Chains A and B, each alone.
Chain A
Amino acid sequence: MKVGSTLNIALRALRRNKMRSVLTALGIIIGVAAVIAMVGIGNGAKAQVEAQIASLGQNVILIFSGSTTSSGIRTGWGGAGTLKIEDAEAIRREVPGVAAVSEEVVSTTQVAAGNQNWFTRIYGESADYLDIRQWPLSDGAPFTAQDVRSANKVCIIGRTTASQIYGNDDPVGQILRIKNVPFTVTGILTPKGLSTQGVDQDDVVIMPFTSAMKRVVGGTTLRNINVQIGDGRQIAAAQQQIISLLRQRHNIRAGRDDDFTVRNQQEIADAATATTAVMTVLLGSIAGVSLVVGGIGIMNIMLVSVTERTREIGTRMAMGAHGSDILMQFLIEAVTLSSVGGVIGIVFGIGASQILSSYAHWPTLISLSSIIVAFMFSAAVGIFFGFYPARKAAALDPIEALRYE
């Protein structure tokens, strides 16, 4: 009934103790800012992982050499090679619904041109690779199926590799020496930037897998096979058929484990985003603890304030304040501290995330929902931690409060 007046009274009381109000709100400011920034970091990481997994291509099945542990983590990355070129060809030939296949080998080595050299990653792939990854060239032309068949000495390179070796010169048509073998650069990839693990995805050389196996990597086995399925609804069926085809080709008897691992994109995405979701929750709860500590700070100050202002409360009651007016006053004081602190904290949290993104290059993503939740939570902290002191104030006896020294 006297909400306007009570608000007025509470705001006047807060203004009387500016320094204390600011310091009390500081606990909430820091708590909310931490929650906003931490959840922003977690969500940013999640969004980046999702984007990266989407960049694997549409409807992709990955087949790796080596078996898996029960937790789904592969042992021996690129280790014991069990996948053969013929396996890839069999998949291409026999599994229905397959749209494209890319045999993959990977190596790291020194590359050079003129007097410049650079240590980079070499990917051997089929001509379909760039289509599967949906990774266009920014300049030049891709290598062809004919280049793959003939194991031609051609390659395409990422932006980082290009600038390290050729500086500002146009690399297309230039010679790149890889393990002393001269390769012709036919194209440059569009830049992708850092991966979630902080790997520069543009620091790469991609060439026909045949050329890579013959001249760079050596060996006769593939690290993995990328398979693209034309129709997303056929992925599960295709996955099953790939497994039985490879088991048959590798002569694996019933009951024995696969010597390869098949994962579709959804499974990889689920595993990766589960990790970042856990991270988001973890970061958010750690920050949430500081918000609760901020709330306890409010309760502490409000309790001190009630004791210190006992005479004031008695005076207000003598002037006609109801217990409920006093309760509301202290509650509004607490909620004002916490929600104003919350708003400032949100601004600081957004600022902190922006600084982390631009200076530390951490991806951050601040959603409207996290802002709303943070604000509601800070207001709730004020109500929760303000209620006890406010009720204590409201229950005071006016005569005793007036006599309080």
Chain B
Amino acid sequence: MKNGEVVKLIDVYKTYHTGDVDVHAVRGVSLEIQRGEFVALMGASGSGKSTLMNIVGCLDRPTSGRYVLDDADVSALDRDQLADIRNHKLGFVFQSFNLLPRTSARENVELPLLYGAHRLTNAQLREKADAVLASVGLAGREDHHPSQLSGGQQQRVAIARALVNDPEVVLADEPTGNLDSRTSVEIMGIFQQLNERDITIIMVTHEQDIAAYARRNVVMRDGRILKDFNVTQRFDATAELGKIAPIDSEL
């Protein structure tokens, strides 16, 4: 395992030009995230969390400033180069899961592999996908379609998809936004397990009690970092789940 910082933002600005007005969504953010960290990015709605995540996720480029990902400056790469970086180094988990409908969990997880540099046989694809699905507790559900899975299970498929290419960083924008509180804690449990395996996780949330599962919280306001601190009273998902009364015995 490499050490040192995996994400390094240096005085990053992002300005949107809409009509006559300029929206300064991010204004001068500098941030370093070490390998193996679990960071929750917090702040009120409109504070620039998603904009910053899009830059960290190489979906967007900063208006000014530098972004160094895994020791390589990616601030000035073109569309296709950014796509390759996303494929090799990043894994995405979305608020609304974004699974392909009418497609099995396995085929959903295979998706990033299909856009990778290495051609894999169908058997290799299947083997990799099934292994990652098993690691998020979905062994036996490989052939289920999203419509046959609960919200929590769908989000686990999405996490498996984010993990299948062994990313440097897993990025999650409001991963629990569409989930009930119990399922949210389960997903945090999976993130904590992944983080135990030294996987770097950056997660956007506006909920205090979700951010408490992370190791470090970064709070934004008006496009700037307001606070940046380590979580002292960290929640442990396994313990919290034990406290919550099992409402439905189905799981």
B88 at the binding interface (Cβ < 8 Å): yes
Q: Is the CB of B87 within 8 A of A315?
A: no
Q: Mark B95-113, 1 if CB is under 8 A from A, else 0.
A: 0001011110001000110
A12 at the binding interface (Cβ < 8 Å): yes
Q: Is the CB of B119 within 8 A of A4?
A: yes
Known: A16-B100, A323-B80. A318 touches B57 (CB 8 A): yes
Minimum Cβ distance to chain A for residue B138 (Å): 19
Candidate in A9, A311, A315 with the most chain B CB atoms within 10 angstroms:
A315
In the complex, chain A residues whose CB is within 8 Å of the CB of B156: none
Q: Is the CB of A320 within 8 A of B86?
A: yes
In the complex, chain B residues whose CB is within 8 Å of the CB of A321: 83, 115
CA distance A325 to B79 in the complex (A): 13
CA distance A319 to B86 in the complex (A): 6
A278 at the binding interface (Cβ < 8 Å): no
Minimum Cβ distance to chain B for residue A215 (Å): 83
Minimum Cβ distance to chain A for residue B114 (Å): 4
A335 at the binding interface (Cβ < 8 Å): no
CA distance A153 to B90 in the complex (A): 103
Q: Is the CB of A398 within 8 A of B114?
A: no
Q: Is the CB of A317 within 8 A of B83?
A: yes
Known: A8-B114, A16-B101, A402-B94. A319 touches B161 (CB 8 A): yes
Interface positions, chain A 153-167, Cβ under 8 Å from B, are none
In the complex, chain B residues whose CB is within 8 Å of the CB of A12: 103, 107
CA distance A4 to B119 in the complex (A): 8
Chain B's closest residue to A312 (CB) is B100
Interface positions, chain A 364-405, Cβ under 8 Å from B, are 398-399, 402
In the complex, chain B residues whose CB is within 8 Å of the CB of A240: none
A187 at the binding interface (Cβ < 8 Å): no
Q: Is the CB of A399 within 8 A of B80?
A: no
A133 at the binding interface (Cβ < 8 Å): no
Known: A317-B83, A318-B57, A320-B84. A2 touches B119 (CB 8 A): yes
Q: Is the CB of A322 within 8 A of B107?
A: no
A275 at the binding interface (Cβ < 8 Å): no
Q: Is the CB of A319 within 8 A of B119?
A: no
Complex partner residue of A320 from B60, B103, B116, B122, CB under 8 angstroms? B116
Minimum Cβ distance to chain A for residue B104 (Å): 10
CA distance A187 to B57 in the complex (A): 95
Q: Is the CB of B57 within 8 A of A320?
A: no
CA distance A16 to B101 in the complex (A): 8
Q: Is the CB of A320 within 8 A of B87?
A: yes
When A and B form their complex, what is the total count of cross-chain residue pairs whose Cβ atoms lie within 8 Å? 67
A247 at the binding interface (Cβ < 8 Å): no
Minimum Cβ distance to chain B for residue A226 (Å): 72
Known: A320-B83, A323-B80. A402 touches B98 (CB 8 A): yes
Complex partner residue of B103 from A16, A317, A319, CB under 8 angstroms? A16
A17 at the binding interface (Cβ < 8 Å): yes
CA distance A2 to B84 in the complex (A): 13
Chain A's closest residue to B100 (CB) is A312
Complex partner residue of B115 from A17, A319, A402, CB under 8 angstroms? A319
In the complex, chain A residues whose CB is within 8 Å of the CB of B103: 12, 16
In the complex, chain B residues whose CB is within 8 Å of the CB of A398: 59
In the complex, chain B residues whose CB is within 8 Å of the CB of A142: none
Q: Is the CB of A319 within 8 A of B111?
A: yes
Q: Is the CB of A315 within 8 A of B98?
A: yes
CA distance A137 to B25 in the complex (A): 98
B235 at the binding interface (Cβ < 8 Å): no
In the complex, chain A residues whose CB is within 8 Å of the CB of B54: 399
Q: What are the 6 A-B residue pairs with the smallest beta carbon separation, nearest first?
A: A320-B87, A320-B115, A319-B112, A16-B102, A315-B98, A5-B114
List 24 contacting pairs A-B, 8 Å CB cutoff, sorted by A.
A5-B114, A5-B115, A8-B122, A16-B102, A312-B100, A314-B98, A315-B94, A315-B98, A315-B111, A318-B86, A319-B86, A319-B92, A319-B115, A320-B86, A320-B87, A320-B116, A321-B115, A322-B84, A322-B115, A323-B79, A323-B80, A398-B59, A399-B59, A399-B60
- Enumerate chain B interface residues (CB-CB to A < 8 A): 54, 57, 59-60, 79-80, 83-84, 86-88, 92, 94, 98, 100-103, 107, 111-112, 114-116, 119, 122, 161
- Enumerate chain A interface residues (CB-CB to B < 8 A): 2, 4-5, 8-9, 12, 16-17, 311-312, 314-325, 398-399, 402
Q: A4-B119, A320-B116 are in contact. List 19 more A-B contacts (CB 8 A).
A: A2-B114, A2-B119, A8-B114, A12-B103, A16-B101, A16-B102, A311-B98, A312-B100, A315-B94, A318-B92, A319-B86, A319-B87, A320-B83, A320-B88, A320-B115, A322-B79, A323-B79, A325-B115, A399-B54
